[in-house]
Structure 1
Amino acid sequence: MDFTNPFHNTEKNNEITGWEPVLGGQLAEKAVWVDEAKCIGCQYCVHVASNTFTVDEFHGRSRAIRQDGDSSDVIQEAIDTCPVDCIHWVKFEELDNLENSLDRDMFQTFGKPPRMNKH
């Protein structure tokens, strides 16, 4: 692998493993994840790390939108401000399973009336 250009993979299979030193030559071993089922929509994390977190417009819950949006220190500060401890560092390999485990259809929206079936 050519480490002088982090976006150039010289291996034959061209498989991206997630361990490439893409940002500043540092290996990214962990990802940030919001357990939206526990989130209360306070938006503290968005105010601290606005390049990493956003609030879902419909459900009113936080979500990590960029893993490299803010420095690790700023993301950790956002994690520390969460009053319900719903933001976690996880392994990148766990992200898909964690996202798939959320049933957003069961979420109560914050600040909006609940969805009603129209007859």
Structure 2
Amino acid sequence: MSDPALAFRTAATEVDPPSGLEPVLGGALRQQAVWVDEAVCIGCRYCTHVATNTFVVEPNWGRSRAIRQDGDSTERIQEAIETCPVDCIHWVAYERLPALEAELEQQDIQPLGLPSSSRLKRTLPRRSSSLG
């Protein structure tokens, strides 16, 4: 039987500080990261309804984005990938994430919709009084 006070007498070992890119899920290493190609995304929100802790719709562009790699189980994320009607969600190597993010920054992506407060009102053409 071990002495519980041993934990207080033993020197702590140094560990690397977390980088935020750890593929940890329930103590197991996930082999790949999930990535949303926002240039292809149509903003349907299916993935955000299936894997609510992993995906969010970015408010300025109206497209889905993976915000947490460890938010949901691999099975739940795979289900979200399979619900995507335009196949814009992919499993990629963790090492590719910085390059993909840099590539996304270079793309010219237009917002899918404007917030309701800034939508332009539709104006109908004026009727001409010369119509007979």
Say whether the fold is shared (TM-score over 0.5).
yes
Q: Distance in 2 between matches of 1:21 and 1:96?
A: 15
- Measured on the aligned residues, the alpha-carbon RMSD in Å equals 2.8
Alignment of 1:23-34 (within 5 A): 23-34=25-36
Q: Distance in 1 between matches of 2:44 and 2:23?
A: 34
Q: Distance in 1 between matches of 2:101 and 2:31?
A: 18
Q: Distance in 1 between matches of 2:68 and 2:21?
A: 17
Alignment of 1:49-88 (within 5 A): 49-88=51-90
- Note the C-alpha offset of 1:110: 1.1
Asked if the contact 1:19–1:29 (Cα under 8 Å) also holds between the matched residues in 2, the reply is no
Q: Distance in 1 between matches of 2:27 and 2:73?
A: 14
Q: Distance in 1 between matches of 2:92 and 2:68?
A: 14
Give the unaligned 5+ runs of structure 2.
Answer: 1-11, 116-132
Q: Distance in 2 between matches of 1:29 and 1:105?
A: 27
Look up the equivalent residue of 1:93 and give its one-letter code.
E
Larger Rg: 2
Q: TM-score when scaled to structure 2?
A: 0.68
- Note the C-alpha offset of 1:21: 7.9
- Deviations 1:52-100 (Å, cap 9, x if unpaired)? 0000101000000000111100000000000000000011111010011
Number of equivalenced pairs: 104
Could you say what secondary structure the match of 1:102 adopts? helix
Asked if the contact 1:32–1:88 (Cα under 8 Å) also holds between the matched residues in 2, the reply is yes
Q: TM-score when scaled to structure 1?
A: 0.75
